[in-house]
């Protein structure tokens, strides 16, 4: 089966189950997802057929995740895991997020945990690289009585979670604990300060000489935050209070971008939650004129991505990858995409299309059901959609991680198939 046919088959299965699949050219008022079994390969001038094959998502041509760079079709889990997945990881590292910092050896990472007066513990994670050492903080709060249902690991880019378990909408720790879940927060600003002048002063300068320029394809802040989440997992997997098979990395906005990149690289995470991650998160890059563009994000935040990514400013169609393939890299783990109706900068429709575009890869594992009852935009708001390994919601309101979003995550059975 070709990659395009496999993509079409994912929605053909949904249609067989009574889920309507919209036509490729819907009425303007309701943009639909076009993953049709009768899609034809593009002609050579368009770059499809073989390497560079594409499929259509809502009328946007995007790379087919099930076609190898050499033009061969991916039609098995083995083909995906041994060939296509490594190709995509390398392409995202080369062109979008930069190459990540090395995984430390056991004697190069140390943990010092201290109890907090309000319960929980404060963990100092120290990592030694070739240029020195760096440390950052992980805070862990566990509910009383029995093993937690699971753990939410927040990539906290705001530095909002302190030693006392506050109850903000962004991190409503008492609510999370009362629901039976543990909560951990990684202080992303200590891993890499969110500042173009000092972002290297966290962990990056422990691996690169501080007086020299970073390689153009080396990861910057987003990549460092994702790497930090993996170091947090190094600790959590040995924490007797935590079930390491039930850890969800969650990030909002820029933290959501890092959460997705963490989940794509580190298969220890069974659940990845992207909340309003937008551009270079869940949003399709080729919808560059919708929401935040590559030019806008790389100009405003030059310390988030390597210079190689800014090469695609104004030319998103030339990217060899797109964000539905990033979501697909999380398979067979659960990918969770949370969008908001008024979050125009994040392009919620682009996030929706990207979510559906990952389904053909999940279908290799027999997990291609997105849980969404219709492929037409917009879906029902304020309702959690859940398939065996894919979850989605479109929340009413604007850009934010709030109690309404947390309610969907806490009741979404994210750790069950």
Q: Which of 254, 132, 277 is nearest to 195 (CA)?
A: 254
| C-alpha to C-alpha distance for 19 and 8, rounded to whole angstroms | 13
Name the token pair of 285. Answer: 């890059």
Spatial neighbors of 296 by CB under 8 A, at least 6 apart, are: 279
Which helix (DSSP H) or strand (DSSP E) does residue 271 occupy? strand 271-275
The residues that are catalytic are: 253, 399
Residue appearing with tokens 């030339």 = 318
Name the token pair of 382. Answer: 């304020």
| C-alpha to C-alpha distance for 30 and 350, rounded to whole angstroms | 14
Which helix (DSSP H) or strand (DSSP E) does residue 267 occupy? none
3-state secondary structure 227-257: HHHHHHHHHHCCCCCCCCCCEEEEEECHHHH
* In contact, 184 and 140? CB cutoff 8 Å: yes
What is the DSSP track for 185-211?
EEEHHHHS-SSTTTGGGTTGGGTS-TT
Name the token pair of 122. Answer: 């404060």
- Other CB atoms within 10 Å distance of the CB of residue 205: 19
């Amino acid at each position: 089966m070709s990659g395009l046919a496999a993509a079409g088959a994912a929605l053909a299965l949904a249609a067989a189950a009574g889920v309507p699949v919209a036509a490729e050219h819907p009425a303007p008022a309701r943009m639909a997802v076009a993953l049709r079994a009768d899609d034809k390969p593009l002609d050579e001038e368009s770059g499809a057929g073989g390497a560079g094959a594409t499929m259509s998502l809502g009328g946007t041509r995007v790379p087919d995740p099930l076609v190898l760079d050499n033009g061969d079709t991916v039609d098995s889990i083995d083909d995906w895991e041994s060939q296509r997945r490594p190709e995509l990881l390398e392409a995202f590292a080369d062109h979008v997020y930069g190459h990540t910092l090395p995984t430390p050896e056991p004697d190069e990472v140390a943990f010092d945990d201290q109890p907090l007066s309000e319960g929980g513990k404060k963990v100092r994670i120290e990592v030694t690289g070739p240029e020195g050492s760096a440390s950052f903080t992980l805070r862990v709060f566990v509910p009383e009585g029995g093993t937690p249902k699971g753990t939410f690991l927040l990539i906290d880019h705001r530095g909002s979670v302190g030693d006392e378990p506050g109850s903000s909408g962004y991190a409503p720790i008492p609510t999370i604990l009362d629901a039976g879940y543990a909560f951990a927060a990684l202080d992303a600003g200590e891993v890499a300060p969110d500042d173009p002048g000092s972002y290297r002063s966290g962990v990056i300068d422990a691996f690169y000489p501080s007086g020299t320029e970073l390689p153009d394809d080396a990861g910057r802040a987003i990549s460092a935050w994702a790497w930090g989440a993996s170091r947090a997992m190094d600790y959590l997997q040995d924490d007797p209070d935590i079930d390491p098979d039930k850890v969800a990395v969650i990030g909002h906005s820029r933290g959501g971008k890092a959460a997705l990149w963490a989940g794509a690289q580190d298969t220890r995470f069974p659940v990845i939650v992207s909340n309003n991650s937008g551009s270079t998160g869940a949003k399709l890059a080729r919808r560059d004129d919708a929401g935040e563009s590559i030019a806008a994000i790389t100009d405003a935040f030059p310390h988030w991505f390597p210079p190689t990514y800014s090469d695609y400013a104004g030319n998103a169609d030339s990217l060899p990858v797109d964000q539905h393939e990033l979501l697909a890299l999380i398979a067979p783990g659960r990918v969770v995409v949370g969008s908001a109706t008024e979050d125009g900068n994040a392009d919620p429709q682009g996030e929706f299309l990207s979510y559906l575009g990952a389904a053909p890869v999940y279908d290799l594992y027999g997990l291609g059901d997105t849980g969404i009852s219709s492929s037409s935009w917009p879906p029902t708001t304020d309702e959690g959609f859940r398939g065996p390994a894919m979850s989605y919601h479109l929340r009413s309101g604007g850009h934010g991680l709030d109690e309404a979003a947390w309610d969907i995550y806490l009741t979404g059975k994210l750790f069950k198939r």
